[in-house]
Amino acid sequence: MCSLQCPSDCSSQDVTDDEGVVKLTKCGHSLHKLCARMMAESKQYFIPCPMCKTVHGVRLGNQPDGVMEIFIVNDSLPGFDCGTIIITYRFGGGIQGREHPNPGHPYRAHAFPRRAFLPDNERGNKILQLLEVAWQRRLIFTVGTSITSGLENVITWNEIHHKTEWENYHGHGYPDPAYLDNVTMELELQGVTEADLESNANRSLE
C-alpha cells in the first residue's frame, strides 16, 4: 500500500485526467483514481476494495452453463425444527472459454449432480435467494483444479461453501451453528447482499 499523497504506482506516463484520489461509496475507503479505473477495467467493471474487500459494482464469475434445482422435504436437519431445502446442481462437460484457465481445452463435470442442504425457515430461505443471485452471476462454481480430488480442468466450488451432507460425517453437514452466518459472509465477499434481494423485489413491482 502506497501513500495517497504520492502519484499512483499504476501511472506509467503523465495522465492528468487520472490524477487524484477517489472514495468508494459503499465502504468509504479511498484510493488513487487511476488505480480504481485500472481495477475496474481488469475485473469487468467491478472493484473489490483493497482494504476491506467490499465489492463495488456487480461481480460476475465464469461458471459454466448448468441447472440449479430446488426441492423441499418435511424432514428436519440436525439442529433445526423445520423442513429442509435441497439444492441440486447439474452440469455437463464442455469447452473452456476465454474466461477460463485453459481456453479451448475441454472441462469435465466431475462428481455431479451435487446436492446441498438448508433449513426451510426464514433465514434458510433468505440464503437460498442470495444463492440464486450468486448462481445468476455465475459465482458458485468455476473451472480449475479440484482441491479434494486434485483433478484438473473440472468444475469446482468457488469460495461459497455449501453443506453437502445431511449429518456432519466429514465436516460438511449439520449441526453447525455458525454455518448460516459464515455463508452469508462469503456471499457478501462475492458482492451478493440483501440489497440485491430488495432491488430484485423493486424491479418485479415495476
Residue 114: give the domain boundaries.
Answer: 66-205
* Same domain flag for 118 and 29: no
Tell me the Ramachandran region of residue 101: left when phi exceeds 0, alpha when psi lies from -120 to 50, beta otherwise: alpha
Instruction: Answer whether residue 10 is part of any domain.
Output: no
H or E element in which residue 72 lies = strand 66-73
* Same domain flag for 168 and 79: yes
pLDDT of 51 over the 80 cut:
yes
pLDDT of amino acid 33: 85
pLDDT of 150 over the 50 cut:
yes
* Same domain flag for 158 and 188: yes
> Last residue of a domain, which of 57, 80, 109?
57
User: 201 or 66, which is more confident?
Assistant: 66
pLDDT of amino acid 49: 85
pLDDT of amino acid 206: 47
Instruction: Answer whether residue 2 is part of any domain.
Output: no
pLDDT of amino acid 44: 65
Of 16-25, 62-71, 124-133, 135-144, where does mean pLDDT reach its minimum? Answer: 16-25
Q: What is the mean pLDDT of residues 94-118?
A: 96
Residue 115 sits in a domain of what CATH number? 3.30.390.130
Q: What single string gives the DSSP state of each residue in 86-135? A: EEEEEE--EE--TTSSSTTSEEB-TT-SEEEEEESSHHHHHHHHHHHHHH
| Average pLDDT value over all residues in the chain | 88
- Quick check: 40 and 57 in contact, CB under 8 A? yes
* Same domain flag for 47 and 94: no
Instruction: Answer whether residue 7 is part of any domain.
Output: no
pLDDT of amino acid 43: 63
- Quick check: 122 and 168 in contact, CB under 8 A? no
